[in-house]
Amino acid sequence: MANNPPGQGFQNKTRVAILAELDKEKRRLMQSQSLNSPGANIPLSSRPSLKEARDSAEQQHIAAQQMAALQHAHVHSSGF
């Protein structure tokens, strides 16, 4: 087993402390946001615009796949 360089344990403890602090702050912000906006407690599935957003994202994904396929075909056909 390799030994950790000096100070490595300190860096890991610092990293863990920072991540814990960030997680605590994230929870605090999410809690205050839900208290400030009552609509935030509505499940996403009941929002009417979710389907539109999902459809739009799916269309963009399909368009990106088609563009990638066209570019791929062009690269392979330009050598002939």
Distance (Å, rounded) from C-alpha 59 to C-alpha 69?
A: 15
Give, in degrees to the nearest 5, the angle at Cα 39 between 33 and 45.
115
Q: Does any domain span residue 1?
A: no
Tokens of 77: 């056909």
User: 49 and 34 in one domain?
Assistant: no
Handedness of CA 19, 37, 43, 59 (dihedral sign): negative
User: 59 and 78 in one domain?
Assistant: yes
What is the count of structural domains for the chain?
2
Q: Does any domain span residue 2?
A: no
Q: Does any domain span residue 16?
A: yes
pTM > 0.85: no
Q: Where are the alpha helices (DSSP H) in 4-48?
A: 8-36
User: 66 and 36 in one domain?
Assistant: no
Range of the domain at 73: 44-80
What string of pLDDT tens digits covers the 80 residues of the chain? 456 566 677 778 888 888 899 988 888 888 877 776 655 555 555 555 788 888 889 999 999 999 998 888 877 776 55
